[in-house]
Amino acid sequence: MTDRYDIAIIGAGAAGEAAAQYAGSRGARVAIVERDLFGGGCPFWQCMPSKALLHAAAVHHAGGDFPWKRASDFRDWMISREKIDYPDDSGHVKALEAAGATAIRGLARFTGPGALEITPGGPGAGGAPIAIEAGNVIVAVGSHSKIPPLPGLDEIEFWTNKMGTGTRALPDGLVVLGGGPSGVELSQVYARFGVPVTIVHPRDRIHDREHPRSSGFLARGLERDGVVVRLGLRAVGVRAHAGTNGRHVVDLSDGSTAEGEAIMLTIGREVPLEDLNLGAIGVEASEGRVKSDDHLRIAPNVYVAGDIAGPELHTHTGHYQGEMAAMLALGDDVTPDLHAIPRATYTDPETASVGLLVDQAREKGIDAVEFTQDLATSARGEVIEAQGHVTIVVDRANRTLVGAFMAGPAVSETIHEAVLAVKTGISIDVLADTIHAFPTTARVLGTAFIEAARSLPKPA
């Protein structure tokens, strides 16, 4: 007989786990299917190991007792991979089962509305496919590194984020293709452990979805640590072991080259849609994406959450969407609000942001103006010898915050006041009238609020 569930979840990363935990707390009968590691990429290959390595690299860089061997062991402990080849995800499985979910390791595909076929997978797997039915399905399959059709790439063992965060041996040189969040974080890790690192990025500034000031501070921070930043260039080919001491050579679009024992790809992420058989529920993907409505729905009783849902790929967004998808599947009258998503990169200096840049705001018809505070000349910057900025974008007509962009110490924590302000439309006058502790980065943000409130014309 086919097992029937209230909710079936495809993917057990941050979004899938959050959906299962929440639905289980409401008494729903839940099945959650995962093709690889329960817990997804964040605890094993992405967020947690990268932040552990950034911490170790910072201590090492400051002269503390954190050599690479200790850093590697610390990372292995963090991802439950001590003295084994592959992480142990049993803790995540037990947590899901404790919440009442049925955890199934395998590859799930639609065979029709509310119907899934699961090919068993994982260590020791075997046997016939499993058929289940569900009143609602939440698709939370996550994403994987994009692999470009780069000549010669298939002749080497290139790195994705898995090797970037999981290697136990330092490479003799690292070339990072892509200067987004993962690329800049891991570049700083390896540079601080003495590895020659080159970032190759096709645009005119690294981390280019952030504010130009943030990109500038970050580039200078990386160069300070020894990273060679190559901008406005693309890799056009790879020559295996053709460089010094057998390093790989990456040929670049301007005729120059970069060399490294390891080549790491951080050029973007792709969602694995091809195995889902979405056509069985009448859904067509476009350019590797699916389109949902305002309630995360792609078909009747089918919801998406996490990377597949967009608009941004963050663990915290996936967790939020997973719970929202579960609420919607259970019939709650809720609408996800995704217009104030915090972004943070944990380099030195950190960067953080929310909302719209001033040009983006103006493109949307908002009468936007920007205010900036220099963190270096603030009390916070002076007492810890730090540089950076706090920039806010304000709707002049409504006197509300529409964006905030920061670089410097503790900005990943400071950003959340701005997140709340963007989400709720708090008046800039209320923000300016709020007391901020001295001397903090939040105080610098408060000074920007005060400048904006005093500079903007008072409403009639």
Mean pLDDT of 37-42: 97
Are 275 and 139 contained in the same domain?
yes
Answer whether residue 349 is part of any domain: yes
Are 276 and 263 contained in the same domain?
no
pLDDT digits (tens, 9 = 90+) for 311-359: 999 999 999 999 999 999 999 999 999 999 999 999 999 999 999 999 9
pLDDT at 444 over 60: yes
Answer whether residue 50 is part of any domain: no
Are 100 and 191 contained in the same domain?
no
Average confidence score pLDDT of the chain: 96
Contact 293/304 with Cβ under 8 angstroms?
no
The pLDDT of residue 124: 54
Q: How confident is the model at residue 2 (pLDDT cuts 50, 70, 90)?
A: confident
The pLDDT of residue 126: 66
Last residue of a domain, one of 247, 267, 287: 267
Last residue of a domain, one of 329, 354, 376: 329
Q: How confident is the model at residue 1 (pLDDT cuts 50, 70, 90)?
A: low
pLDDT at 54 over 80: yes
For residue 430, what is the domain's CATH number? 3.30.390.30
Rounded to two decimals, the pTM is 0.95
Q: How confident is the model at residue 65 (pLDDT cuts 50, 70, 90)?
A: very high
Report d(CA 165, CA 112) in Å as an integer: 38
pLDDT digits (tens, 9 = 90+) for 270-316: 999 999 999 999 999 988 899 999 999 999 999 999 999 999 999 99
The pLDDT of residue 122: 59
pLDDT at 459 over 80: no
Mean pLDDT of 140-145: 95
Q: Which residue has the tokens 């302000």?
A: 421
The pLDDT of residue 123: 52
Answer whether residue 74 is part of any domain: no
The pLDDT of residue 233: 98
Mean pLDDT of 431-453: 98
Tally Cβ neighbours within 10 Å of residue 413: 14
Answer whether residue 200 is part of any domain: yes
Q: Which of 53, 137, 44, 46 is nearest to 92 (CA)?
A: 44
Are 138 and 227 contained in the same domain?
no
The pLDDT of residue 287: 82
Burial 138-158 (b: 16+ CB within 10 A, else e): bbbbbbbbeeeebebbeeeeb
Percent of the chain topping pLDDT 70: 98
Last residue of a domain, one of 220, 241, 267: 267
Are 284 and 350 contained in the same domain?
no
For residue 26, what is the domain's CATH number? 3.50.50.60
Q: How confident is the model at residue 127 (pLDDT cuts 50, 70, 90)?
A: confident
pLDDT digits (tens, 9 = 90+) for 223-245: 999 999 999 999 999 999 999 99
Are 251 and 177 contained in the same domain?
yes
Tokens at residue 5, please?
């569930």
Answer whether residue 60 is part of any domain: no
Are 347 and 437 contained in the same domain?
yes
Are 171 and 312 contained in the same domain?
no
pLDDT digits (tens, 9 = 90+) for 376-393: 999 999 999 999 999 999
CA distances from 293 to 13, 56, 277, 297 (A): 22, 42, 20, 5
Q: How confident is the model at residue 215 (pLDDT cuts 50, 70, 90)?
A: very high
pLDDT digits (tens, 9 = 90+) for 69-102: 999 999 999 999 999 999 999 999 999 999 999 9
Are 214 and 233 contained in the same domain?
yes
Answer whether residue 335 is part of any domain: no
Answer whether residue 79 is part of any domain: no
Are 105 and 185 contained in the same domain?
no
Q: What is the tally of structural domains in the chain?
A: 3
Are 138 and 281 contained in the same domain?
yes
Report d(CA 86, CA 81) in Å as an integer: 6
The pLDDT of residue 121: 81
Answer whether residue 319 is part of any domain: yes
The pLDDT of residue 457: 87
Are 215 and 304 contained in the same domain?
no
Instruction: Give me the sign of the Cα torsion angle 271, 272, 273, 274.
Output: positive
pLDDT digits (tens, 9 = 90+) for 3-32: 999 999 999 999 999 999 999 999 999 999
| Full domain range(s) for residue 170 | 153-267
